[in-house]
Amino acid sequence: MRTLSPQDLLDLVDGAAIFSAGGGGDPETGYRIAHKLASEGYTVRLVAPSEVPDNAKIVNFACVGATTTVEYDADAAVKTLRILED
Amino acid sequence: MIPVELGGFNTLAAVDVAARCGIPVVDADGAGRSVPEVHLKVYTIGDIPLIPMVVADLHAKNIVIAKETADSKAAERIARVLAAEWDNSAYTARRILTGAQVKTSPIQLSLSKSMQIGKLLRKTVDPVKAVVKETGGFKLFEGIVDCCEQETEAGFTFVNIKLRGTRECAGSMFEFKAKNEVLVAYKDGKLAAIAPDIITPVHSETGKCITAEKIEKGNKLAVLGLPAPQKWRTSKGLDLWREVLRRSKILEEYVPIQQLHQFEKPNPSF
């Protein structure tokens, strides 16, 4: 398990975008998410698959839709995850 | 939490939700690239179901829970139809994996690999060359955008781009077609790369991705072609992609990018 720095998150945006085939949503929104997480004091922890206990439950999360219209509302995204957890 | 795919926004959305909920992110993803349809994940190759699935509009005012679907493709249609209804976008939280499954099913260590590529883009003098070398890919073309067409319809953004070659590509033409993601590219009318191999337009100097919908006439682009993860190159993986390509009227069969460019030396100076 490692904690990602704000720079790690910005590198993640640029690197993941290289594998995006020109989709995957706008990196500018990715940068905004990275800055906001840092300024609001959240910690991002990255865990290697080998470190995950076999009985752990792991949820998939994403946005779906046209690439031209995706905006991002963190509260609504968190609410979506919470409903799946319930 | 695990991101469903690699992409400049979508990967970060998963990271954001995880951090806000205090849960770690697994260093892996469901595709090793971005994909145009929800069911196009390596989990579908392994018959791991997509449900349960929660679909919400961008402000979570409307929330739909899919408990059962006929198959993963049916789940894709449900999410897509809802997204189309809700201003063409939706959030989905879905498919609960076990710790045992994340060790074998998704594309492993893809987030740390992405961070390494991001660092290369930031630190190297010739980022395009460095990324091509690191990923085992190819620079397919460099040129200026001559023509771009874009249309958003039914929860997808469709883009067609034509480029006029510059520098070592002077005198050549290049064309690519995207349905959210770029699916196929042609150089002088001949197949240059086809999905699931990863065709990414980038800024010719900084090497950073320019997403298809933001490309404008006159932009200077390089186009990278990176080999798809091995799981996509299995017969079952290719069957999933073939069906998506056919629906976009792309009839060519998959040819691995290394085979299309086997006589080129991608990195003569390395």
**Side-chain half-sphere CA neighbours of A11 within 13 A:** 19
Considering the domain architecture, whether residues B177 and B241 belong to the same structural domain is answered as yes
A–B CB contacts, 8 A cutoff, strictly below:
367
Residue B196 belongs to a domain with what CATH number?
2.40.390.10
Mean pLDDT of chain A: 92
The answer on pLDDT for A85 being more than 70 is yes
Considering the domain architecture, whether residues B78 and B139 belong to the same structural domain is answered as no
Task: Tell me if A33 sits within 8 A of A72, measured CB to CB.
Answer: yes
Name the domain boundary from B57, B78, B108: B108
Considering the domain architecture, whether residues B181 and B247 belong to the same structural domain is answered as yes
A36 CA: distance to closest CA in chain B (Å): 9
Distances (CA, A) of B7 to A26, A42, A58, B33, B149: 8, 21, 19, 7, 22
ipTM of the complex: 0.95
> Averaged over B100-111, what is the pLDDT?
97
Task: Tell me if A27 sits within 8 A of B13, measured CB to CB.
Answer: no
Nearest CB neighbour to B20, from listed A17, A68, A74 = A74
The one-letter amino acid code at B235 reads S
Nearest CB neighbour to B99, from listed A54, A61, A62 = A54
Q: Which residue of B has its CA nearest to A83?
A: B54
- Segment B16-67, tens digit of pLDDT: 999 999 999 999 999 999 998 888 999 999 889 888 999 999 999 999 999 9
Considering the domain architecture, whether residues B255 and B131 belong to the same structural domain is answered as yes
> Averaged over B229-249, what is the pLDDT?
95
Domain that holds residue B199: 126-260
Considering the domain architecture, whether residues B133 and B251 belong to the same structural domain is answered as yes
Specify the 3-state DSSP secondary structure of A31: helix
Considering the domain architecture, whether residues B170 and B247 belong to the same structural domain is answered as yes
pLDDT computed for residue A70 by the predictor: 62
For residue B223, name the pLDDT band (cuts at 50, 70, 90): very high
Task: Tell me if A59 and B93 make a contact (CB, 8 A cut-off).
Answer: yes
| Number of domains making up chain B | 2
Question: With the C-alpha atoms ordered B144, B148, B152, B155, is the resulting torsion angle positive or negative?
Answer: negative
Please check whether residue B62 lies inside any domain of the structure.
yes
The answer on pLDDT for B155 being more than 60 is yes
pLDDT computed for residue B88 by the predictor: 82
Please check whether residue B268 lies inside any domain of the structure.
no
The pTM assigned to this predicted structure is: 0.94
